Amino acid sequence: MTQLSSDDLREFYSAGARVMTRSLIRELLKLTRRGGMISFAGGLPDPATFPVNELKHITSDILDKQPHLALQYGPTEGDTNLKDELVRWMGKDGIDVGRDQILITSGSQQGLDLVGRVFLDPGDPLIVELPSYMAGLQVFRSCRAEMIGVPQDDAGMRTDLLEQTLARLAREGRRPKFIYVVPDFQNPSGVTMTEERRRMVLELARAYRSLVVEDNPYRELRFEGTPVPPIMSLDRDGRVVYLSTFSKTLAPGLRIAWMAASEELIRQFVTAKQGVDLCCPSLTQAIAAEYCARGHIYKHLPRITALYRTKRDIMLRALEREMPPGVSWTKPEGGLFLWVRLPEGMDTEQLLSTAVEDEGVAYVVGSGFHADGGGKNAMRLNFSFPSEEHIEEGIKRLASVVKKHLPAAYAREPSRGPRSP
Ligand code: PMP
Ligand code: G9A
């Protein structure tokens, strides 16, 4: 019997499903499982950081002492013990929220989906950074919202350009539903937004009656420098929706993350989540809560940041050594990624098949992070997942691909090294 073809099925799809795009990162992830491949593509933690023994003990204790809770459905809002831990956790960053201002989600990715469901109708404008988190763009695109990009420099989103954009929209009688930012060690660029710009984003959101969605999975992974206050800690009128996750600090396989917002907004997100998955897994919520309550997380973080700092440094040194003139890159103070720019006119999408097929090295193309189709000469490199040896070897391979395709003019130009996105 023949199956219904994709053309047959298309007429059944919703308008949203028809415009959905597949995540390049998730597709590359399958490819990079092949032997011999060095992957700078996915934003995966180093599995050596997974605290397996502690998690074994905690899981066994939970199953001994409270199986009736850990294996049962839980409240949509999330495990109360976990929420209490998160109140304390965010308090250290000046985010002053109560238990009812938190919703536990299945990864921050679900938080982004709920943001889309609750705020976006087709055609609604929203502001994103250029570049911005790819799977965030994927969500907003499937809502058929209009993403308006505001460029970034090495101090984060250009708030002068944000102001111009908001003023233009206001003249057209429109206002964005929200401004989406990843302020700490951004995915993909690695850039951190300055405090001045954070205050300005909030100020502009207030002036133009918009909201701010602050997606902050990397905040705890700071290698050096002084932490900058989260935008939510500066907010006085419940204008910010904050998202964070245990995916990068503990283990993404737990799929435990959270949103913080005003009680009113959290009630709305809870309603939306009820239609998605009823509640997050009770078992992994209990594990995350206990991991915090026993204080493990506080000892674990310095170990992860030390490891990722070393890996970042190895990648930076390898880039400096291997890359030809005309190539530049960011120098992130934390997180998992850095952003490489090739000379204008080069196309990282065209180079990808050579890199993967001939050299066995993968990265994510810059255009995937651009709502406006830009970023063609850029690529995102992850330094947390590959081993130290693979970072050295992978950058060598990548540099040889770049050198083969470099326009002749750059062979002589001396400019290269760390720079803004
Ligand atoms: N937001 C950003 C900016 C991210 O980089 C990621 C993961 N790469 C997520 C959200 C989603 O993370 P998770 O669903 O694993 O919590
Ligand atoms: O999709 C994943 O596996 C999570 C990583 C996200 C990223 O690479 O940005």
């419940």: which residue's tokens? 238
What ligand 2 atom has the least distance to the C-alpha of 133? 9
Could you tell me the CA-to-CA distances from 319 to 189, 393, 400 in Å, in that order? Answer: 16, 11, 12
Q: Are 245 and 218 in contact (CB under 8 A)?
A: no
Q: Which CATH architecture has domain 6-50+299-410?
A: Alpha-Beta Complex (3.90)
Does residue 382's CB lie within 6 angstroms of at least one atom of ligand 1? no
Rounded Cα–Cα distance for residues 325 and 402 (Å): 10
222, exposed or middle or buried, with CB in 10 Å at 0-12, 13-18, 19+? buried
Contacts of 13 (CB under 8 A, 6+ apart): none
The percent helix, strand, coil of the chain (3-state, each to 5) is 45, 15, 40
Q: Which ligand is nearest to the CA of 106?
A: 1
Which residue type is seen at 87? V
- CATH number corresponding to 72-297: 3.40.640.10
- Minimum CA distance residue for ligand 2 atom 7: 43
Structure tokens at 108: 């921050």
Reduce the DSSP state of residue 15 to 3 states and report it.
helix
18, exposed or middle or buried, with CB in 10 Å at 0-12, 13-18, 19+? exposed
Q: Where in the chain is the domain with CATH 3.90.1150.10?
A: 6-50+299-410
Contacts of 173 (CB under 8 A, 6+ apart): none
What spacing in Å lies between the alpha carbon of 185 and ligand 2's midpoint?
15
- Minimum CA distance residue for ligand 1 atom 8: 43
pTM: 0.94
What spacing in Å lies between the alpha carbon of 136 and ligand 2's midpoint?
11
Pocket test for ligand 1, best of 23, 245, 339 (most atoms within 8 A of CB): 245
Q: Which residues pair with 340 in a beta bridge?
A: 329, 379
The string over 292-324, giving b where at least 16 C-beta atoms fall within 10 Å of a residue's C-beta and e elsewhere, is: beeebbeebeeebbebbbebbebbbebbeebbb
Instruction: Name the stretches of the chain with pLDDT < 70.
Output: 411-421
pLDDT in the model for residue 250: 97
pLDDT in the model for residue 416: 52
Dihedral sign, Cα of residue 213, residue 371, residue 380, residue 16: positive
The string over 149-187, giving b where at least 16 C-beta atoms fall within 10 Å of a residue's C-beta and e elsewhere, is: bbebeeebbbbeebbebbeebeeeeeebbbbbbbbbbbb
Structure tokens at 256: 């435990």
The reply to whether omega before 131 is within 30° of 0 (cis) is yes
pLDDT in the model for residue 292: 97
The set of protein residues with a Cβ atom below 6 angstroms from ligand 2 is 25-26, 29, 42-43, 187
What spacing in Å lies between the alpha carbon of 395 and ligand 1's midpoint?
25
Structure tokens at 368: 């995937």
Which of 153, 139, 150, 85 lies closest to 289, judged by CA?
Answer: 85
Phi, psi of 84 (to 5 degrees): -65, -40
Q: Which residues pair with 334 in a beta bridge?
A: 222
pLDDT in the model for residue 23: 75
What spacing in Å lies between the alpha carbon of 109 and ligand 1's midpoint?
6
pLDDT in the model for residue 320: 98
Find the farthest-apart pair of alpha carbons in the chain and give their distance in angstroms, rounded.
Answer: 69
- Minimum CA distance residue for ligand 2 atom 6: 43
Q: Where in the chain is the domain with CATH 3.40.640.10?
A: 72-297
pLDDT in the model for residue 278: 94
pLDDT in the model for residue 411: 65
Q: What is the DSSP string of 333-362?
A: SBSSEEEEEPPTT--HHHHHHIIIIII-EE
Q: Tell me, rounded to whole angstroms, the distance of Cα 135 from its chain centroid.
A: 8
Does residue 246's CB lie within 6 angstroms of at least one atom of ligand 1? no
pLDDT in the model for residue 21: 80
- Minimum CA distance residue for ligand 1 atom 5: 187
Which of 362, 332, 28, 365 lies closest to 152, judged by CA?
Answer: 332
What spacing in Å lies between the alpha carbon of 242 and ligand 1's midpoint?
13
Rounded Cα–Cα distance for residues 62 and 356 (Å): 44
Rounded Cα–Cα distance for residues 321 and 88 (Å): 44
Q: Which ligand is nearest to the CA of 137?
A: 1
